[in-house]
Amino acid sequence: MEYCVKKAAAGDPRELFVELSDLDRLCVGAEGWSADSFESEAAKDNGIVLYITENDRISALICGYSAVGEGDITSVAVHPDFRRRGLALRLISEFEAMLPDDAEDIFLEVRESNSAAVSLYEKCGFKAISIRKNFYESPVENAIVMKKSITCEV
Ligand SMILES: CC(C)(COP(=O)(O)OP(=O)(O)OC[C@H]1O[C@@H](n2cnc3c(N)ncnc32)[C@H](O)[C@@H]1OP(=O)(O)O)[C@@H](O)C(=O)NCCC(=O)NCCS
């Protein structure tokens, strides 16, 4: 099926941010972001909010930002009906392509028990670098901090 990758921006309809929040919360529960959070992240100069639509329905999203010399992924969510079709891989690749030229690394945190996401990130080239004890709430759980180096060796 044809799909389309889009970047959310300031001024997009409120309904878009509500849909992104609904998808995030469907996928990760209460810790998913609110519509306000998606809207304010999309409005920031360094914010990157990308989503995939198929037949006018949002099937996947990625959210993050760039900081000095790095990118940070804060959320990746794919609707259960659309999983294992490479959508998360595609969004991570698009996120990487949007980072400024001086970005050297991408960082993210993932729940220790989230083996699907850990496999996804490993497939994208991320490596575990440390553990943040009790980083998550409800349920309390450690986070694995993962990093991908994106500097080209010349
Ligand atoms: C994790 C998640 C984003 C993956 O999205 P997806 O679009 O299904 O992933 P992709 O199709 O791009 O998968 C790419 C690779 O990741 C790995 N992977 C993805 N889902 C997996 C699963 N359930 N079990 C094991 N490996 C998995 C595989 O290596 C897969 O490649 P393959 O299909 O060729 O085997 C999705 O399951 C999701 O939204 N989960 C709930 C939210 C979440 O946990 N987000 C991450 C928070 S840090």
- Lining ligand 1 with CB less than 6 A are 27-28, 76-78, 83-89, 110, 114, 116-117, 119-120, 123
Q: Which of 11, 13, 6, 18 is nearest to 62 (CA)?
A: 6
Output the CA 12–ligand 1 centroid distance in Å: 28
Q: pLDDT by residue (tens digit) across 79-118? A: 999 999 999 999 999 999 999 999 999 999 999 999 999 9
- Is residue 131 in a domain? yes
Give residue-wise pLDDT tens across range 9-29: 999 999 999 999 999 999 999
In a domain, 48, yes or no: yes
Instruction: Give the pLDDT band (50/70/90) at residue 2.
Output: confident
Residue 95 lies in a domain: yes
Is 84 inside any structural domain? yes
In-domain check, residue 154: no
Instruction: Domain count for the chain, please give it.
Output: 1
- Where in the sequence is the domain holding 51, given as residue range(s)? 4-149
**pTM here?**
0.96
Residue 35's domain is classified under what CATH number?
A: 3.40.630.30
User: Which amino acid residue places its CA nearest to atom 4 of ligand 1?
Assistant: 88
CA 108 – ligand 1 centroid, Å: 15
Q: What does the alpha-carbon distance between residue 70 and residue 90 come to, in Å, rounded to a whole number?
A: 19
Instruction: Tell me how far the alpha carbon of residue 108 is from its chain's centroid.
Output: 9
Q: What is the pLDDT of residues 114-133, one digit of tens each?
A: 999 999 999 999 999 999 99
